[in-house]
Structure 1
């Protein structure tokens, strides 16, 4: 069925109440930009929606928690809603969990161009231009679910291009049963397209600004173009001011360049070129599979300070948020077979990995080392008895080492012993 072409913006998950995370320290030149980054990314969406070739704006939840974001966050939405109202551009908003309509103050009405979909039933709205129906939107706000209840969007079958507006995760089979031409979904902080969910696409555009290392890569919103034949094209537009990057380095890469510091510098230059002049927040994971390279790395804490000094104060900045140098899991066979203290130590370390507890110690439950059910536990409590100066907090932390940190602790303890027994200086700080 032929109709008229139109264009709309689909965005979600502003989370104006949430600052950027995974940061331990920052140069002064980034403080202001970091504080305003979520707002700046949201503003970019409204500015794009005010462009003359955008017909309407679709928002799919978690824009802000009104109480947590406060008047500052609410005013950003209201001011921009008013601007769109003056430009005669509708806004269709399906609330999520953070922006549950129950949280919105009754004393703060929304402008008449804003449709906030109800929670208890679907609402079908036709978008018209010059007296002609262009498309239909079927929306429903979340009832607090993290998943989308597709049957809750059922309405009468229509011939218009139909946009389902909702919040939450779903799969292609469930979405396709909803018979929408395009699903405008929210609830995911990273971009996600669900193949097969709808003819024109089923999309969660993600947050316009990433908030942490688990939200690395580009962030923004979607512009959806629908032609007169109801064929749609979805364009991703980047709006983030800061971009998180999580990079992994292995020993071969370090060896090819000569030093870890030089390699980090090269990779930072590449990342800066690839990410369009944005500020970068980078976490590095260095996997040292070659024990012979340990001495060449030096002190990771000092290396972190150097990298931050070299690359973290520019504009744009490439700030290293974390440098993790992971110790080798294995050491040369010749080292383990030595008739030396080092050989004895490595053999004891291997035995300990298999048994789960050092000889002469017991598990937290009091059972013998390496017994069934306790093989993955480490009990360091007996070692604290030799150090009366340790605080009760430190003693408790050592005694309650989580099982998921077992291998990491063993790797670091083994490396420390190897450094000392091979005459090295124990300055190694794994996580910086």
Structure 2
């Protein structure tokens, strides 16, 4: 039989205890907005729940760690719950790992409109409107795992539209086996959809506000509209005040723009238009993949300062969090064959790189490196001895380069030398 249409909002992973990260410097003009961004994004979920004429709100865990978030975070959550209670809007909450129900203070009761699902079993709640059941919400809080224990959701079969609520994800086959119409999942901080997990969708909406370059792109919640035939339409809504972006640039793009600085300016303008209305936190990776037409990128440290000065002061701002340059893996053989200083330099670099790979390969197998390999290892310590003004700590850092960084440092030193010997400006510095 046809049912009734209804609407709900699904959100998760507020993490009100976690500030924005991946920032080596906090721009003064953005500090206040950065501090409140996670709260602002979470508040936007409650504001929408009051304005969207929804039937209920589904929360899929990791809203906050009560102790780490403190009274400030808890008050936001409780205030939202109370406003929804006044509007007769139920809240179905499946706790995750951060918001483990055992962490919730006993002295702070939840409003009666909030159902916090238990950890030890799934509970099915018939959601009613005007005395008639319009859907069934089946939820269970996490037991501390990142994966969803789907067999724990087995309940009696019903003709109503069923919403499964849980923190964690599982593969599509496992989710489909539980026969939910919609899986309201939590855990991933980026929006995630598991195709085939449920007829109407198996979705983790992600955090309302991204926290690092590992969480790039739009963040928000979803609105689910279900019609009388149980056909669902899912709509994403963005709430992030700051948006992390990771942008890669290659050699050909730099050549087409004339210079790296020109290209970055063009891209910043495009990104600002595309993501208008919010601050952008951009990580740039310059990939010099074509050594035949190697562009000069200049000094990344200076370029970083210029980008922050020119584009990080506007409102909304485009703030560069880091600028890294990835040197070419290989240089033209014709350059290496030259009877010039450049040729000598590239041959020496290739020799040390080869010795480094041999030493790494020998070491990984538990065998000692031969003396013929050892004599070709790159040793910077003698160079530190030529500079008496260097402290013992600086000398040690320069002379004892960590094994996992030696290859990248050699690649960067080679790029710097190539640019200098070819008459360009050096592009030293792994990451700024």
* Structure-1-length-normalised TM-score: 0.91
Q: What is the aligned residue count?
A: 426
- Cα distance in 1, alignment partners of residues 137 and 368 from structure 2: 63
Match of 1:169 in 2: 169
Once the two structures are superposed, residues 208-261 of structure 1 have per-residue CA deviations (whole angstroms, 9 ceiling, x without a partner) of 000111111000000000000111011000010111111111111111111111
- Cα distance in 2, alignment partners of residues 128 and 363 from structure 1: 67
Match of 2:339 in 1: 339
How much has 1:369 moved relative to structure 2?
5.2
Match of 1:367 in 2: 368
Greater displacement, 22-31 / 199-208: 22-31
- Cα distance in 1, alignment partners of residues 316 and 131 from structure 2: 48
- Cα distance in 1, alignment partners of residues 367 and 187 from structure 2: 45
CA separation of 1:174 and 1:402: change in aligned 2, threshold 3 A: farther
CA separation of 1:156 and 1:357: change in aligned 2, threshold 3 A: closer
How much has 1:346 moved relative to structure 2?
1.2
SS of 1:199's equivalent in the other structure is coil
Which ranges of structure 1 fall in alignment gaps of 5 or more residues? Answer: none
Greater displacement, 339-348 / 143-152: 339-348
* 1:280 is aligned to 2:252: no
SS of 1:215's equivalent in the other structure is coil
CA separation of 1:271 and 1:419: change in aligned 2, threshold 3 A: closer
- Cα distance in 2, alignment partners of residues 283 and 88 from structure 1: 44
* 1:240 is aligned to 2:240: yes
- Cα distance in 1, alignment partners of residues 377 and 187 from structure 2: 39
How much has 1:426 moved relative to structure 2?
5.1
* Structure-2-length-normalised TM-score: 0.91
How much has 1:355 moved relative to structure 2?
2.8
Q: Contact between 1:100 and 1:142, CA under 8 Å: does it hold in 2?
A: yes
Once the two structures are superposed, residues 183-222 of structure 1 have per-residue CA deviations (whole angstroms, 9 ceiling, x without a partner) of 0000000001101001011000000000111111000000
- Cα distance in 1, alignment partners of residues 100 and 147 from structure 2: 15
Match of 1:326 in 2: 326
CA separation of 1:400 and 1:10: change in aligned 2, threshold 3 A: same
How much has 1:79 moved relative to structure 2?
0.7
How much has 1:420 moved relative to structure 2?
4.9
CA separation of 1:188 and 1:348: change in aligned 2, threshold 3 A: same
Q: Contact between 1:161 and 1:181, CA under 8 Å: does it hold in 2?
A: yes
Once the two structures are superposed, residues 118-172 of structure 1 have per-residue CA deviations (whole angstroms, 9 ceiling, x without a partner) of 0001111111000000111110000000100000111111111110000112110
Q: Contact between 2:254 and 2:295, CA under 8 Å: does it hold in 1?
A: no
How much has 1:383 moved relative to structure 2?
5.1
Cα RMSD, aligned residues only? 2.7
